[in-house]
Amino acid sequence: MSPSLADAHIHLADLLDRDPGFPERLSGTGWICCASSHDEPEWERVEALRSRLPPFVSSFGIHPQWPVWKNADFLARLAGEGRLAAIGEAGFDFFADRPERVRDEANERTQREVFEFQLELALSRGLPLLLHLRKAMDLAFAYAPRLRRLPSAIFHSFPGSARDAETLVAKGINAFFSFGAPLLNGNKRAAAACAAVPSDRLLAETDAPWQPPRRSTHVAADYCRAEDLRPIVEGIAALRGIDLDEAGNTVRRNFIRAFSASE
């Protein structure tokens, strides 16, 4: 993997369950990432990987697919102790593949309450917010007046159009748009948005081990690997008509800005 690459969204503990050797393959490289956790045991497992991986930053959030209050106090404590680079992933999921993800009044109310808690926590602590949105882009616009007060809003696996990205930025949101395996899987909407968003707002991610690329370079293609970041960035480079080094340097530079990270 190129040492210049930065992964804006990865689940290290879940990846370790499927690929126990990945920390050693990345050891000694310049790879950086934002590792996402959603409960206390997952957070502790991710923290235990720090001795086996290059330095990385972390996010913690109450996921909209599991909008419960169990981890709210732990999240607030992490934010108060300055241990987070971002809150999230937080947001809305109305994909309708399960009853709790159908967009009805009760589900939307539940997800709004959890989201607003995290948004206000991010605002009070001056932290970026990492956003998960499925079938809910309209809510990004609805919350724009508050999102613009954040240090940054990072749209994980950006589900919107190029015009949506343009409008969010025009509303004054310091927005960053992250793209991953959908680029390799023929998602035309993601490809069009990736080709068009401003270069200074572009991020890359694997979401590993989730969202496996269909054209994986490894045999076990039922999960996404950390190394799949390179073909994703190659895909970004091809869509934007630039070389791999330029694409890699761009997403790394934007990663540092979005998460207020250091080299």
71-110 tens-digit pLDDT: 999 999 999 999 999 999 999 999 999 999 999 999 999 9
Kindly state whether residue 240 falls inside one of the protein's structural domains: yes
Q: Residue 179: name the closest of 139, 236, 134 by CA.
A: 236
Residue 1, in any domain of the structure: no
Distance CA 244, CA 237 (A): 6
Band (pLDDT 50/70/90 cuts) for residue 216 is very low
Cβ atoms 85, 261 nearer than 8 A: yes
CA torsion through residues 194, 199, 202, 204, sign: positive
Q: What residue type is 126 in one-letter code?
A: G
Number of folded domains in the chain?
1
Q: What is the pTM of this model?
A: 0.95
CA distance 78 to 65: 21
Output the domain CATH number for residue 183: 3.20.20.140
The pair of three-digit structure tokens given for residue 122, joined into one six-digit string: 């991010």
Closest CA to 49 of 68, 70, 71, 25: 25
Query: What domain range includes position 158?
Result: 6-257
